[in-house]
């Protein structure tokens, strides 16, 4: 059983060495642990420091491409390296690497496909009250959109089984966290969470303030949800038109009866009613078309999965035992994992370093 710890890094020379040093190299149930650093076009000494501290592999981008692209490149590289489990770890030391054994435990035992570290944001001292509120609201929306029960949706401390890593593909250019979560929930993967510790870190480089983050993550949620639930999305969009148009139509009919079946005044209400009902109907038709297109998308996703699996299998060593995929229909108690709640918590070529 092989674990690959991927660390996306952009100008992290000050902390990347400490992160690599703290990665546990011996974990029960794991035969081999490798550290993969995904250098996102750093202009400082990130690569040199990572190599000096024992990074097994380094994947380099020629220029800065952003977190989403960096994460996907690392996930693909981890699979090509033969990973049975992939752990994503931030390079700023926000998540102490000694929590990796607890994070991967549900995958090792076959109880989850993905495990996400819960930072318990309400207890994080350096988060402002506004940031805590926005985080709580955003996580609630993400849970509704994904159909999962993850309390800390934007957390980047995650573990993926090989099956989950093959199934997921980042479709946004901002951040992978919510996009991956909604994909996982809608594709029937079992997503679990455990509580983790965190360290104070520098301000995020991913966004320009809370409202910029909310705007971009909100767009990601809407886009991902509409991709997997087009009929529901278009129905919700058409509902206001149907309600207002229906109300006006009923009002016209009531007045028509009250006036003794003579043509009532204010016929503009009748025209507005029919206009709104027509718009609502057209939006619903678009939803039906999008839902049919979704069948083709699901077929293409399965084709992509099989192509990726074949490509990765060709680049892997001889067959070794794999972590089984967990059905979404697994017993509820396997999803809750309450016993773990108290635990502490463009791609370039891959260069393997001695």
The string of pLDDT tens digits covering residues 148-176 is: 888 988 888 999 999 999 988 888 777 78
* Among 82, 118, 84, residue whose Cα is nearest residue 99: 118
Domain of 108, in residue numbers = 2-228+327-348
Three-class DSSP category at 142? helix
Based on the fold, state whether residues 176 and 281 are members of the same structural domain: no
Of 178-192, 200-214, 236-250, the least confident: 200-214
Q: Report if residue 214 sits inside a domain.
A: yes
User: What does the alpha-carbon distance between residue 137 and residue 169 come to, in Å, rounded to a whole number?
Assistant: 25
* Among 222, 231, 227, 224, residue whose Cα is nearest residue 291: 231
* Among 348, 354, 351, residue whose Cα is nearest residue 57: 351
Residue 346 confidence (pLDDT) above 60: no
Q: How confident is the model at residue 327 (pLDDT cuts 50, 70, 90)?
A: very low
Q: Report if residue 15 sits inside a domain.
A: yes
Based on the fold, state whether residues 86 and 62 are members of the same structural domain: yes
Q: Report if residue 353 sits inside a domain.
A: no
Report pLDDT digits (tens) over 100-145.
Answer: 999 999 999 999 999 999 988 777 666 677 777 877 888 888 888 8
Residues 200-225 have a mean pLDDT of 70
Based on the fold, state whether residues 266 and 124 are members of the same structural domain: no
Of 44-58, 213-227, 336-350, the least confident: 336-350
Based on the fold, state whether residues 247 and 302 are members of the same structural domain: yes
Domain count for the chain: 2
Q: Report if residue 134 sits inside a domain.
A: yes
Q: Report if residue 212 sits inside a domain.
A: yes
Question: How much is the pLDDT for 344?
Answer: 39
Based on the fold, state whether residues 66 and 16 are members of the same structural domain: yes
Based on the fold, state whether residues 195 and 241 are members of the same structural domain: no
- Whichever domain contains 224, its CATH number is 3.90.550.10
Question: How much is the pLDDT for 333?
Answer: 39
Based on the fold, state whether residues 161 and 255 are members of the same structural domain: no
Of 50-54, 179-183, 184-188, 205-209, the least confident: 205-209
Residues 55-60 have a mean pLDDT of 90
Q: Report if residue 240 sits inside a domain.
A: yes
Residue 309 confidence (pLDDT) above 90: no
Q: Report if residue 174 sits inside a domain.
A: yes
Of 28-42, 106-120, 317-331, the least confident: 317-331
Question: How much is the pLDDT for 208?
Answer: 60
Structure token pair of residue 206: 């991913």
Predicted model pTM: 0.73
User: By percentage, how much of the chain surpasses pLDDT 70?
Assistant: 82
Three-class DSSP category at 115? strand
The residue written with tokens 């401390």 in the block is 157
Residues 19-25 have a mean pLDDT of 94
Based on the fold, state whether residues 191 and 285 are members of the same structural domain: no
Based on the fold, state whether residues 23 and 34 are members of the same structural domain: yes
Based on the fold, state whether residues 292 and 182 are members of the same structural domain: no
Q: Report if residue 215 sits inside a domain.
A: yes
Question: How much is the pLDDT for 125?
Answer: 67
Question: How much is the pLDDT for 299?
Answer: 80
Is residue 121 within 8 Å of 132, Cβ to Cβ? yes
Q: b/e map of 254-287 (b: 16 or more CB within 10 Å)?
A: ebeeeeeeeebeeeebbebbeebbebbeebbebb
Residues 238-267 have a mean pLDDT of 81
Based on the fold, state whether residues 70 and 176 are members of the same structural domain: yes
Is residue 92 within 8 Å of 12, Cβ to Cβ? yes
Based on the fold, state whether residues 94 and 237 are members of the same structural domain: no
The more confidently predicted of residues 191 and 338 is 191
Residue 343 confidence (pLDDT) above 70: no
Residue 252 confidence (pLDDT) above 90: no
């Amino acid at each position: 059983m092989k674990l690959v710890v991927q660390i996306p890094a952009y100008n992290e020379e000050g902390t990347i060495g400490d992160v690599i040093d703290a990665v546990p190299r011996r974990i029960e149930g794991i035969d081999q642990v490798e550290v993969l650093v995904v250098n996102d076009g750093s202009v400082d000494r990130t690569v040199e420091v990572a190599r000096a501290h024992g990074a097994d592999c380094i994947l380099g981008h020629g220029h800065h491409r952003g977190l989403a692209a960096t994460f996907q490149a690392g996930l693909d590289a981890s699979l090509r390296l033969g990973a049975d489990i992939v752990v994503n770890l931030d390079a700023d030391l926000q998540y102490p690497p000694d929590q990796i054994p607890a994070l991967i435990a549900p995958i090792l035992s076959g109880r989850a496909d993905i495990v996400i570290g819960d930072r318990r944001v309400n207890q994080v001292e350096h988060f402002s009250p506004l940031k805590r509120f926005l985080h709580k609201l955003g996580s609630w929306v993400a849970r509704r959109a994904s159909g999962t029960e993850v309390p800390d949706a934007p957390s980047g401390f995650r573990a993926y089984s090989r099956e989950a890593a093959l199934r997921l593909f980042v479709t946004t250019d901002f951040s992978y966290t919510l996009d991956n979560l909604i994909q996982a929930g809608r594709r029937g993967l079992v997503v679990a969470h455990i509580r983790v510790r965190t360290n104070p870190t520098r301000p995020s480089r991913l966004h320009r303030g809370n409202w910029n983050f909310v705007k971009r993550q909100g767009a990601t949620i809407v886009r991902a949800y509409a991709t997997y639930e087009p009929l529901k999305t278009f129905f919700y969009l058409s509902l206001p038109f149907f309600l207002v148009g229906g109300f006006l139509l009923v009002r016209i009919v009531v007045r028509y009866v009250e006036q003794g079946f003579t043509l009532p005044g204010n016929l503009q209400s009748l025209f507005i009613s029919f206009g709104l009902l027509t718009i609502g109907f057209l939006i619903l038709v678009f939803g039906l078309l999008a839902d049919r297109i979704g069948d083709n998308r699901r077929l293409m996703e399965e084709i992509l999965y099989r192509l990726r699996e074949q490509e990765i299998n060709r680049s892997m060593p001889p067959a070794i035992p794999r972590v089984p995929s967990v059905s979404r229909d697994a017993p509820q108690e396997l999803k809750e994992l309450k016993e773990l709640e108290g635990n502490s918590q463009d791609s370039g070529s891959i260069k393997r370093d001695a």
